Structure 1
Amino acid sequence: MGDDISSGSFTREQRQRYREKVRRCLDVFEKMLAEHVFDFDQPLTGLEIELNLVDRNWQPDMANARVLAAIADPAYQTELGQYNIELNVPPGPLTGDSLLELESMLRKSLNHAEAKANESGSEIVSIGILPTLAPEHFQDDWMSANPRYAALSEAIFAHRREDLELDITGVESLKMFADTIAPESACTSVQLHLQVSPAAFAANWNAAQTLAGPQLALGANSPFLFGKRLWAETRTELFLQATDTRSPELRNQGVRPPVFFGERWITSIFDLFEENVRYFPALLPETTDEDPEAVLAAGKAPRLQELRLHNGTVYRWNRPVYDVVDGVPHLRVENRVLPAGPTVVDVLANAAFYYGAVKMLAGDDRPVWTKMSFDAAKANFDAGARHGVDAMFYWPGFGEVSWDELILRHLLPLAQEGLDRWGVSASTSDRYLTIIEERCKLRRNGSWWQSEAVQRLESKGMSRHEALTEMLHRYSVGMHSNEPVHTWELP
């Protein structure tokens, strides 16, 4: 969700003071990287899952306050839209059967949340973009009651000075304008966290960037937006356009958007934070009373709240994270590439593939990013999002290669070895990586299933709205079965 703020509007003086404070924080952070001890003795992984609420007619249900009160679990929090909630999973090790235990815990937690939501007439759906969502659902009160969201919306439009334009062409085309950031709330994702040492951060971030395209081809789950079939993973382009602070003229000048893949390989986490400060204006310029230099001089870890808050409004697909827990600082790579769903077991299969492959790619003596341009990694990301199971990638040693061949021949064996090096049990690796293997062999993911289901329902005479509604109903049945999406039957 990001850090909360106390105010919804800011003065010019506040913005100037915030810029100065962010630069002070950046200087302190640079000194900490050189001198401070970070917690990384036992690398930990974490997970966040954003979820949607629907009513009994499978339409968005603006009920998160009521549902969260019923769930009564601090692990569940609000998200931007009143039809969104988020589940935060505490960090833990990957070793042994930890992923199997996590699967059991997640299913138990989500089943409890679903039962509580059902009592008030809501259903929980884990999906990249809710396919029954329509622009008219944003005509009334749709935003969650959190000052951060209202301030963020105000800041984006203050920078743009005009309505947002959505213009996405895929299988079909969507072109519309929006006078709020409501379309951003359609983007629901899974976020994978990996705690690393300062020295290992750059290699892990670069490795994660190379994997972004294959992740999308493997896990795309967002083919529909506002009734239109667009990209296999429409969420990535929607998120970029729905948070864009730039007018068309600024885009033409090459000004960078807040949703940012990046533009170069890095040598340190400092590169990313320094880019954030240099390139991106403050959207939420709230300052604290912390004196970071004094805190560091006293031998403690400063919160660097201004730097963290600023980082939270630059939406990199692999985001650098600095945090302090129990007085000890640590660094994380936050992988934000994947959509939510379709099932818990699919989510954990995606996670196992990511953690295993990153482990090996980051530790390679001659890493792949030394043989591959950054532009090629970005092109792979775009191809995975646009085309899903039809994506083609560039990869050193393979040239132009289909996503399934690349994963089956190269990345899946790497993921297997990486999980072994993490200390993951053989039974755990087999459970999740077998799902990845079968998805590749059948060339099926959540986006493929959604698109095929809607096409078949329409061929039986249903309208697009009827087909999307029925598809979502059947999707929910598959989601609750926890059977991998590549095994789901079609209408």
Structure 2
Amino acid sequence: MGQEIARARFSDADFDVFRQRLLEETALLDRYVRRGMCSSRGPITGFELESWLVDSEMNPAPVNAAFLERFGDAQACPELAKFNVEFNSEPQVLSGSVLSLLHLELADLWRKASSAAESLGVALVAIGILPTVPAAVLNLSNISELNRFRALNEQILSARRQEPLKLDISGHQHLAVKHQDVMLESAATSFQIHLQVPLERVRDYFNTAVLVSAPLVAVSANSPFLFGKDLWAETRIPLFEQAVDVGGFREASQGPLHRVGFGSGYARRVITEIFEENFEHYPVLLPILSETPPDRFAHLRLHNGTIWRWNRPLVGFDPDGCPHIRVEHRVIPAGPSIVDMIANAAFFYGLMEALANEPGEPLIPFAQAKDNFYQSARYGLGAHVVWRGGVKLPIKSWLLYELLPKAETGLRRLALAEADIARFLSIIEQRIVSGQTGSEWQRRFIAKHPGEFSTMTREYLTCQKSGEPVHRWPL
């Protein structure tokens, strides 16, 4: 989805040809995987950080084109709305002092980008949902000037037979609104972690990413408010799912297969089952035809980019051109601070390495992993989850006494620097003990200052600039 396209309208023939090429590439990828013809490199990581541009009143500032021109760095690109931008890291091998390197890289990138924004009279904010965003600005006049975004909007509305999108979220309060386009999606921004592992381990690591989604979304929650309503600890989850509410084939829009969601199950035998499901169950949205050879998987990659599982496999290429399959973990929101995001990544890497190397199949059924995820997104550190043997646990105890030690074991298995392990996992530990996630800080602020969302966002930005982890933020 990161590529620009030449046009936004398509013919029936475009869809037919695209689908035939998609079938060929899906079968080819399966042969590559079964014959061991994909990369054995890894573990290698990278990230995407989506963020907001805001004006002096902390309202969305639709100036990403001017910002990107001023910033002038290929690591930044536009997002769906003119008030959002995305930053991408360089791939890094997961070893040694990589956590410190990732922290320094992201902090330096953010500092330069913030200076570019400030030179335009605006500011950058990394937060899951901007508390001040009004529904009225989420319209097509604020869609970024790229054909791919307009085509996406048209095709999603066409798949819905022009029916409006509906938000219906029950949390601490209730929100029900209708919307005429996909711009609701732009209200949700995330910190997405990519993890490449050797081909023979991709299935195990993908399944483990599904398994750890619940603890990661609980400990990183940073999106409680939308349109003035206090909803979930991580409201970004139901917001994104409902903002692109399109199902599969044959009137399946209300069925189990949604284009944004937790997925339909673990990968049972091989990771290409996920790409086969893409072909069999999801109609093509953007039939952009490519003349590149089938082994570049252009059609498969584009189609996969229009199916937004919270964990999804991605096809990419090593520097030598060898194809690889990596896991994209999408559950973590942007923010609250740079060091918090790297701590979240460290916790993810450690849990992935520890749990993916435990013997046997995934530790709990997929249906339970899914339920744990939504409970954790809704209640944050107040959630209860079900773990081995059907035992129900308060998530704080599970995090502190079982998962943190496992994450430490996993990071040591990766041979990461001991000082980095101690530094970043201690941030996770103190966040759990204090109970102050980004979400809870926002809720505590509004409890003291009801309705003061602009004031809160300004204070949030001040704290973010301080570089302190969120568990130390004052009210």
User: Corresponding residue for 1:476?
Assistant: 461
Aligned to 2:391: 399
Is the CA contact (8 Å cut-off) linking 1:187 and 1:239 kept in structure 2? yes
Distance 1:431 1:86, change over 3 A: same
Distance 2:305 2:72 in 1: 26
Code of the aligned partner of 1:380? N
Matches within 5 A, 1:36-435: 36-139=36-139, 141-161=141-161, 162-246=163-247, 250=251, 254=255, 256-266=257-267, 267-292=269-294, 302-326=295-319, 327-367=321-361, 369=362, 371-396=363-388, 399-435=391-427
Q: Matches of 2:457 and 2:293 in 1, distance apart?
A: 51
| d(CA) in 1 for partners of 2:116, 2:92 | 27
Cα contact 1:207–1:361 (8 A) shared by 2? yes
- Three-state SS of the structure 2 residue aligned to 1:90 is coil
Change (3 A) 1:115 1:429: same
The Cα of 1:139 is off from its aligned counterpart by 4.8
Residue 198 of structure 1 deviates from its aligned partner by 2.2
1:160–1:246 Cα contact (<8 Å) kept: no
Equivalent residue letter for 1:11: S
In the alignment, the residues of structure 2 paired with residue 436 and residue 310 of structure 1 have an alpha-carbon distance, to the nearest angstrom, of 36
Tell me the matched-pair count: 471
| Range 140-149 or range 207-216, more displaced | 140-149
1:299 aligns to what?
none
CA distance in 2, matches of 1:122, 1:188: 18
- Taking the aligned partners of 2:463 and 2:287, their CA distance within structure 1 comes to 44
TM-score (norm 1): 0.93
Residues 8-47 of structure 1: pairs in structure 2 closer than 5 A: 8-47=8-47
1:330 Cα deviation after fit: 1.0
Alpha-carbon distance between aligned partners in 1 of 2:62 and 2:403, rounded to the nearest angstrom: 41
Secondary structure (helix, strand or coil) at the match of 1:430 reads helix
Structure 2 counterpart of 1:438, one-letter code: Q
C-alpha distance in 2 between matches for 1:347 and 1:131? 19
Deviations 1:81-137 (A, max 9, x none): 000001100110121112112212211211111111111111000000011000121
Which amino acid in structure 1 is aligned with residue 457 of structure 2? Answer: L
Distance 1:5 1:205 in 2: 30
Partners of 1:133 and 1:470 lie apart in 2 by 13
Report deviation, 1:269.
1.1
Distance 1:150 1:215 in 2: 32
Three-state SS of the structure 2 residue aligned to 1:286 is coil
Contact kept? 2:138, 2:186, Cα under 8 Å = no
> Do the aligned partners of residues 288 and 252 (structure 1) sit closer, same or farther apart at CA in structure 2, a change above 3 Å counting?
closer
**Cα displacement string for residues 58-86 of structure 1 (whole angstroms, at most 9, x for unaligned residues):** 00000000111111111011000000001
- Deviation digits for residues 13-50 of structure 1 (CA, Å, limit 9, x no counterpart): 11111111100001111111122532233421111100
- Cα shift at 1:140: 6.5
Q: Quick check: 1:318–1:335 contact (8 Å CA) kept in 2?
A: yes
| Residues 343 and 482, structure 1, Cα contact 8 Å, conserved in 2 | yes
Q: 1:70 to 1:157 in 2, by over 3 A?
A: same
SS at structure 1 position matched to 2:212:
helix
CA contact (8 A) 1:198 1:268 kept: no
Q: Do 1:389 and 1:444's aligned partners in 2 also have CA atoms closer than 8 Å?
A: no
CA 1:246/1:316 → structure 2, altered by over 3 Å: closer, same or farther? closer
Q: Taking structure 2 as the reference length, what is the TM-score of the superposition?
A: 0.96
Q: CA deviation at 1:443?
A: 1.7
Report what 2:473 is aligned to: 488
Paired residue secondary structure (1:473): helix
Aligned residue identity for 1:118: E
Structure 1 distance, partners of 2:83, 2:446, is 23
CA distance, structure 2, for counterparts of residue 117 and residue 54 of structure 1: 9
Amino acid at match of 2:164: D
Alignment partners' CA distance in 1, 2:42 and 2:253 = 45
User: Equivalents in 1 of 2:460, 2:252: separation in Å?
Assistant: 38
Q: The residue matched to 1:141 in structure 2 has which SS? A: helix
Q: What is the alpha-carbon distance in structure 2 between the residues aligned to residue 357 and residue 216 of structure 1? A: 13
Question: Identity percentage over the alignment?
Answer: 38
What is the DSSP-based 3-state SS (H/G/I as helix, E as strand, rest coil) of the residue aligned with 1:407?
A: helix
Q: Which amino acid aligns with 2:297?
A: L
Aligned-partner Cα distance in 2 for 1:478–1:268 = 45
Q: How big is each residue's C-alpha offset from its partner over 1:313-352, in whole Å with a ceiling of 9 and x where there is no partner?
A: 0001111011124422111000001000000100000000
**Change in CA separation of 1:337 and 1:253 when aligned onto 2, cut-off 3 Å:** closer
Q: Give the match's secondary structure for 1:127.
A: coil
Distance change >3 Å, CA 150–CA 139, structure 1 → 2: closer
| Partner SS for 1:77 | strand
- Which one-letter code corresponds to 2:240 in the other structure? F
Task: Measure, in 2, the Cα distance between the counterparts of 1:89 and 1:40.
Answer: 21
Residue 5 of structure 1: how far off its partner (Å):
2.3
Q: Which amino acid is the alignment partner of residue 200 of structure 2? A: A
